[in-house]
Amino acid sequence: MTSILKADTIQDADGNNIINENSNTITIGASGDTTNIIGTLQNNGAAVGGANTPMVSAYLNSNQSISSNSWTKIQYNTEFYDTDSAYDNSTNYRFTVPSSEGGKYFISGAFYSLGNNNDERQFGIEIRKNGSSFVRHFESVPGYGTSLPSARSVPINAILDLSASDYIEFYGYARADSGSLNINGDASDRRTFFSIAKMIE
């Protein structure tokens, strides 16, 4: 035998509302309460919440040389964290989406470029998906040819829809009339870094 309990309000022994229904809105608990949910909270059959993983962040800990007027893969070689061991920080310097972890990812990166003269004209950074350019950001050097510092910090951000086995790499660009260039890597300042995290949809 089954029974149906009909009520629009359930209260505790002190008369405080635990569950209340009013105009098709269900209120659980009251201000200041702690509500513990055992099991999985769902929204129309889909689980609510989740973790922003896979998640990885790394930086370049020593200078990396870069040729003028060409794109060079940034070798972020030291990890802050890597929740799913999805980033190769020693060979390919790429993040690869693990199996069953497709979705939208927030991607952020930066590199700091230095030159040995005042002839740098332009800096850029690029996110590549599966080896192809997805988005680029350029910055020109103000006061080119003057005594201004020949250095630039260049950031980039994007949201990409990625599938399992897709991979992400970062490339840096600098253009100078003369002299040597490098991507600045430092274990203390960490000026050249990136972060990637799966978004909760």
Query: Per the domain annotation, does 45 fall within a domain?
Result: no
Range of the structural domain that residue 96 is part of: 55-198
Task: Match 């910090």 to its residue by tokens.
Answer: 153
For residue 127, the model assigns a pLDDT of 98
Phi, psi of 170, deg, nearest 5: -115, 140
Query: Per the domain annotation, does 97 fall within a domain?
Result: yes
Query: Per the domain annotation, does 116 fall within a domain?
Result: yes
Instruction: Quote the percentage of the chain above a pLDDT of 90.
Output: 48
Strands 55-59 and 193-198, sheet pairing: antiparallel
Number of domains in the chain: 1
- 160, pLDDT greater than 70: yes
Query: Per the domain annotation, does 62 fall within a domain?
Result: yes
How would DSSP label each residue in the chain? -------SEEE-TTS-EEEEEETTEEEES-TT------S--EETTEEP-----SEEEEE--S-EEE-TTEEEE----EEEEETTS-EESSSS-EEEPPTT--EEEEEEEEEEEEESSS-EEEEEEEEEETTEEEEEEEEEPTTTTSSS--EEEEEEEEEEEE-TT-EEEEEEEEEESSS-EEE---TTT--SEEEEEEPP-
Query: Per the domain annotation, does 31 fall within a domain?
Result: no
pLDDT tens for 107-151 read 999 999 876 555 667 889 999 999 999 999 988 766 555 545 567
- 1, pLDDT greater than 80: no
Query: Per the domain annotation, does 20 fall within a domain?
Result: no
Mean pLDDT of 174-196: 86
Task: Match 């002839």 to its residue by tokens.
Answer: 119
For residue 117, the model assigns a pLDDT of 57
Query: Per the domain annotation, does 15 fall within a domain?
Result: no
Query: Per the domain annotation, does 38 fall within a domain?
Result: no
For residue 83, the model assigns a pLDDT of 97
For residue 104, the model assigns a pLDDT of 97
For residue 120, the model assigns a pLDDT of 62
- Mean residue pLDDT of the chain comes to 87
For residue 4, the model assigns a pLDDT of 86
Residue 70 sits in a domain whose CATH number is 2.60.120.40
For residue 144, the model assigns a pLDDT of 53
* 100 vs 167: CA distance, rounded Å: 14
pLDDT tens for 29-80 read 877 788 888 877 777 777 777 788 999 999 999 999 988 888 999 999 999 9
* 39 vs 42: CA distance, rounded Å: 10
Distances from the Cα of 4 to the Cα of 1, 8, 19, angstroms: 10, 13, 16
- 84, pLDDT greater than 80: yes
